[in-house]
Amino acid sequence: MLIKAILTFAYFRYKSVLLEFVLPTTLLLIFFVVILNEYFIFSSTAIFGILLLPFVLNSKSQNSKSIRYLIVVSFFLIVSYFIPLNSLLYLVIISAFILVIEYRFGKVGILSFVYLIIISPIFIYVGNFIGIPARLELTELASLILNAINFKNQVAGNLIITSTSEFSVDPACMGLNMLTISFILAIVIVKHYENQTNNKLNLFFSSLYLLLVLLFNLIGNLIRILILVLFHIPAENSMHDLIGIICLLIYVLLPVWFISQFFYSNFNSKKGIVRQSSTCSKVIIYVTLILTISIGYFNKSKLKEVTLLPETCFIEGYTKTTAAKDVLKFENSNSLIYVKPVNSFYGAEHTPMICWVGSGYSFQQVKKIKLNNQELFVGKLSKGSDTIYCSWWFDNGGHKTINQLEWRWNVIKGAPPYSLININTTDEKLLYSKTIQLLSKNIFHKNTVQL
pLDDT at residue 236, as a whole number: 72
Residues listed for the chain: 451
Q: Give how far Cα 251 sits from Cα of 66, 222, 266, 344, 437, Å.
A: 37, 10, 23, 39, 46
Task: Of 166, 161, 158, 167, give the one whose Cα is nearest residue 132.
Answer: 158
d(CA 267, CA 434): 57
d(CA 320, CA 318): 6
pLDDT at residue 189, as a whole number: 92
pLDDT at residue 172, as a whole number: 44
pLDDT at residue 357, as a whole number: 61
pLDDT at residue 376, as a whole number: 92
Say if residues 98 and 112 touch (Cβ distance below 8 Å): yes
Amino acid identity of 391? Answer: S
Say if residues 321 and 331 touch (Cβ distance below 8 Å): yes
Say if residues 315 and 449 touch (Cβ distance below 8 Å): yes
d(CA 424, CA 443): 17
Mark the ranges of the chain whose per-residue pLDDT is less than 70.
1-15, 60-63, 128-129, 131, 157, 168-176, 268-282, 299-309, 325, 345-348, 353-360, 445-451
Residues in CB range of 354: below 8 A, 6 or more apart: 124, 125, 128
Residue 10 exposed, middle or buried by CB count within 10 Å (0-12, 13-18, 19+): exposed
Say if residues 61 and 106 touch (Cβ distance below 8 Å): yes
**Beta strands 419-425 and 386-395, pairing class:** antiparallel
Helix axes 86-104, 23-36, angle to 10 degrees: 170
Say if residues 329 and 321 touch (Cβ distance below 8 Å): yes
d(CA 170, CA 153): 17
The string of DSSP letters for 90-105 reads HHHHHHHHHHHHHHHT
Q: What is the pLDDT of residues 354-384, one digit of tens each?
A: 666 656 677 777 888 889 889 999 988 887 7
**Beta strands 386-395 and 400-401, pairing class:** antiparallel
